[in-house]
Amino acid sequence: MRRDLLPLQVVVALLLALRLYYQLTADLFGDEAYYYLWSQHLAWSYFDHPPLHALLIRIITTVLPGVLGLRALTWVTMAGVLAIFWGWSRKLAPEDPQRWFWTATAIYLASPLFFGFTLIAYHDHLLILCTLAAISAFALFIETKQWRWLYAAAVALGLATLTKYSGALIGVGFLVTFVARKDLRPLLRTPHPWLAALLALALQAPVVYWNLTEGLASFRFHFTTRWGPDAGVFHWWHPIRFVLLSLGVWSPFLIWPAIRMLRGRLSVPPFGAAARAASLWTLAASTIILLVVATYLDAFFYWSIVGLVGVTALMASYTGRIALVLHLAFGVVCAALIVVNFAVIPIAALQNGRDPGSAVNYGWNDIVEHMRAAEAKTPADLVGGTGYSNSAQLSVALNDPSVVDLSPIASEFSYWFDPEAWAGKSALVLVGENDRPDEVAYITQHFATFVPVDDFQIIRFGHDIYRWRIFRGEGYRP
């Protein structure tokens, strides 16, 4: 064992331990439960996202059922990310690959952006792996000019886009890299770059087919309906907020190392120069596109993952000792706060505050007990929630695939259940304190009567953190 690597290994072990504690103790997030239900209803694609993640969840949960398998998949993709880091370490630091590997791993895990969005079984853990694989293959193509690496990059790009639509930004970054580099520009006159692009596009066939058969529902959702009445209105503040949130959650202490990478004054091996070019052009292209989107539609900070992951993987070559120590300290503190907030108690509750967005994910065993008691006391034809999130959590917690989403907002539930078949039926509906009054009013008006049958609090360490109510509706009207 090398003593000089021990501090890095301790940080990595601590971050992995926090991750493991969360995944073994925390209840499912709404989106995690939602994606698990997708895997139980396999389709060519889905209303919210492409299908690859759901397919992989289905595969792994045949071996490790339920929540265990769902979250185990994040460890599989992490193993893939670390394998790429190890491969890069031998190319970028052949004189001491172990130090580079442990530094890169610690930097990656300590970024709150990557820790948080791979801790929870969002699509992003798979998107990150596919993005890194695409950048790695593309860098090998730049270094060697062997077409097989370009086609490998195209496959990884296609799989990234088959995970989340934002994966398409990688392709834009690669195209810009071709145009920007003198050694690549002439290759655009050959058929291979265009055939590789067609290969990446061909992998989107399931998404295209689903949208064509469903009236372009997913495309319309992402480009129009999800944004509300302000869509298309200029907002000067949104791009600024996007940049500040992206950099703050990524890590303020990686900004200077990123500037050092941009200046490119350090001597790096040919693969390092190629990976740097691919990563920086992908970051630049994706950031410009997202800033434009943010100006007129808004953009979520975590969309920056596609642009930042390649740069983050290279930070081990550009981060000095002081910046490294500050980043790791910042990351460990943030990781601990994330785990405490979502697996132990919402931090706001410790200050006698309310954080419904965090607290809604607590106490699903208690909720099941109350729902079972309500069903025993006043049986109903249906059990439902007030949105895709709590409906999915309730479905998984009850192990009942027939749970419905009664909200007016379209989701994948809209494709699983037919409202006309519910006509005249009774329902037990779970309503949370965070549900908007207009959404509850919408559900209420679809029943002849809608009366409360239970009202209870989720309690953690003596703090009331979230209020739930169970209503009984009679005579459902579609």
What pLDDT shows up at residue 83?
Answer: 98
Q: Tell the residue number behind the tokens 């930070």, with chain if given.
A: 315
- Least trusted range by pLDDT, from 171-185, 292-306, 352-366, 377-391: 292-306
Q: Are 460 and 347 in contact (CB under 8 A)?
A: no
pLDDT digits (tens, 9 = 90+) for 342-354: 999 999 999 889 9
Q: Is residue 173 part of a domain?
A: yes
Statement: residue 69 has pLDDT above 80: yes
- pLDDT at residue number 154: 98
**Model confidence band, residue 2 (pLDDT cutoffs 50, 70, 90):** confident
Q: Is 399 part of a structural domain of the chain?
A: yes
Model confidence at 130, in pLDDT bands (50, 70, 90)? Answer: very high
- Say what the pLDDT of residue 205 is: 98
How far apart are alpha carbons 467 and 455 in whole angstroms? 7
pLDDT of residue 340: 98
Structural domain containing residue 52: 3-344
Contacts of 65 (CB under 8 A, 6+ apart): none
User: In terms of domains, do 305 and 186 share one?
Assistant: yes
State the average pLDDT for the chain: 95
Does residue 148 share a domain with residue 33? Answer: yes
Collapsed DSSP state (helix, strand, coil) of residue 209? helix
When mean pLDDT is compared across 11-15, 64-68, 339-343, the lowest value belongs to 64-68
CA dihedral of 288, 282, 107, 291, whole degrees rounded to 10 = 10
361 and 301 within one domain: no
Asked whether residue 422 carries a pLDDT value surpassing 80, the answer given is yes
Domain count, the chain: 2
**Average pLDDT score over residue span 247-259:** 97
Average the pLDDT over 373-392 and give the result: 95
Instruction: Specify if 352 maps to a domain.
Output: no
Burial 448-461 (b: 16+ CB within 10 A, else e): eebeebbebebebe
The C-alpha atoms of residue 235 and residue 252 are separated, in whole angstroms, by 25
Do 195 and 291 lie in a common domain? yes
434 and 291 within one domain: no
- Cα separation, 38 vs 92, in Å, equals 40
Q: Decide: 279 and 135 in contact? Cβ < 8 Å.
A: yes
Angle of CA points 128, 84, 32, to nearest 5°:
30
pLDDT at 98: 97
Distance CA 372, CA 387 (A): 20
Percent of the chain with pLDDT over 70: 98
pLDDT at 230 over 70: no
Q: Is the pLDDT confidence value at 13 over 70?
A: yes
Q: Which of 196, 59, 174, 82 is nearest to 128 (CA)?
A: 82
Q: Are residues 179 and 55 in the same domain?
A: yes
Query: Mind listing the pLDDT tens digit for each residue in 305-341?
Result: 999 999 999 999 999 999 999 999 999 999 999 999 9
Say whether pLDDT at 22 is over 80. yes
Give dist(CA 303, CA 286) in Å, integer: 9
Does the pLDDT value for residue 40 go beyond 70? yes
What mean pLDDT comes out for the span 207-236?
Answer: 84
- Per-residue confidence at 417, pLDDT binned at 50, 70, 90? confident
Looking at the domain assignment, is residue 349 inside a domain?
A: no
If asked whether residues 363 and 338 sit together in one domain, one would say no
Do 328 and 402 fall into the same domain? no
Mean pLDDT confidence for 391-410:
94
Same domain, 114 and 52: yes
How many Cβ atoms from other residues are within 10 Å of residue 232's Cβ? 9
pTM score: 0.96
> For the chain, how many helices (H) and strands (E)?
23, 5
pLDDT of residue 264: 78
Same domain, 206 and 296: yes
CA end-to-end span of the chain: 67
Report, as an integer, the average pLDDT of 259-270. 84
Residue 229 binned pLDDT confidence (cut-offs 50, 70, 90): low
Q: Which of 299, 323, 344 is the last residue of a domain?
A: 344
Answer for the pair 261, 280: CB distance below 8 angstroms, yes or no: yes
Residue 208 lies in a domain: yes
> Rounded distance, CA 224 to CA 210, Å?
18
Is residue 401 assigned to a domain?
yes
Tokens 């792994």, residue? 60
Q: Are 226 and 296 part of one and the same domain? A: yes
Q: In what order do the strands lie in the sheet with 427-432?
A: 404-405, 382-385, 427-432, 463-476, 447-460
Which of 323, 344, 365 marks a domain boundary?
344
pLDDT at 358 over 90: yes
Please give the Cα distance from 201 to 161 (Å, whole number): 9
Which pLDDT score, from 0 to 100, does residue 235 have? Answer: 80
Q: What single DSSP character describes residue 400?
A: -
Q: Considering the domain boundaries, does residue 351 fall inside one?
A: no
Mean pLDDT value of segment 238-249: 94
Distance separating alpha carbons of residues 193 and 198, to the nearest angstrom: 9
Which phi and psi angles does 463 have, rounded to 5°? -105, 130
The pLDDT score that the predictor gives to residue 104 is 98
Question: Is residue 318 located within the same domain as residue 375?
Answer: no
In whole angstroms, what is the distance from residue 123 CA to residue 144 CA?
32
**What does the angle CA 52 – CA 251 – CA 331 come to, to the nearest 5 degrees?**
85
Which pLDDT belongs to residue 418?
87
The dihedral through the CA atoms of 372, 375, 376, 381 has a sign that is negative
The domain boundary residue, chosen from 322, 344, 366: 344
**If you search the block for the tokens 């009445």, which residue do you land on?**
229
pLDDT score, position 298: 78
CA 435 – CA 155 distance, rounded (Å): 41
